[in-house]
A and B are shown apart, each in its own frame.
Chain A
């Protein structure tokens, strides 16, 4: 069965700290896609990254980086030098052979000045 687990319900850090948000997924498919979305306090969902199961290269985008490891079924997200504007709920999601997204329950990140 397909499932996404974000075990960290809430994380609090002080500005400039690095923080890693964990995402563990379950799927029986060999072809699948993983996503991260950000939901700031204003409520909208902002797409951050899409990664397919055949591409295990880590990705870096500014202060954001993603570590995809098929061996542990994980797709973790790290924010380097966190800022107050990073405060949000972050969702990891999985998609298999359809466009339906299976979301994790989200991790609320609070960055304090």
Chain B
């Protein structure tokens, strides 16, 4: 089954404790992206990747890191989480990043609470 998976689905942590949210897709998609969803703000892009070893900042990258060492994986790293990073996080992927906007398919979401 074609899908985007995220782990963990729920996470409670404390300020400053490094964490990683994994994202994996099995569709051989080139483009992957991370979004955060906050009430009243919709979804906002954090980082994206056009292909392996190619990543760039989205609209709200502060406090986050990403890497793209393999095509299928795009982990989101919070080196020192803070309470304002409490949010619902979505990973997404699409076939190609050609400037012709492909449909993005989303993972199930990761709900993060930073105390």
Write the residues of chain A forming the contact surface with B, with a CB cutoff of 8 angstroms.
4, 32-33, 35, 37, 43-45, 47, 50, 91, 93, 95-101, 103-106
State the total of A-B contacts with C-beta under 8 angstroms. 60
Residue B74 at the A interface, CB < 8 A? no
| Among B19-27, B36-44, B78-86, the stretch in contact with A | B36-44
Write the residues of chain B forming the contact surface with A, with a CB cutoff of 8 angstroms.
31, 33, 35, 40-45, 48, 58-59, 88, 90, 92, 94, 97, 99, 101-109, 111
B48-A99 in contact (CB<8A): yes
A101-B99 in contact (CB<8A): no
Which of B40, B44, B59, B97 contacts A99, CB < 8 Å? B97
**Residue picked from B44, B45, B97, B104, most chain A C-beta under 10 Å:** B104
Chain A residue numbers with a CB within 8 Å of B92 are 45, 101
Complex CA–CA separation, A44 to B37 (angstroms): 11
Chain B residue numbers with a CB within 8 Å of A98 are 97, 99, 101
Complex CA–CA separation, A54 to B65 (angstroms): 37
Given A100-B48, A103-B44 in contact, is the A44-B106 Cβ separation under 8 Å?
A: yes
Which of B97, B104, B107 contacts A101, CB < 8 Å? B104
| In the A-B complex, the 8 residue pairs with the closest CB atoms | A103-B42, A95-B101, A45-B106, A33-B101, A103-B43, A105-B42, A44-B108, A99-B31
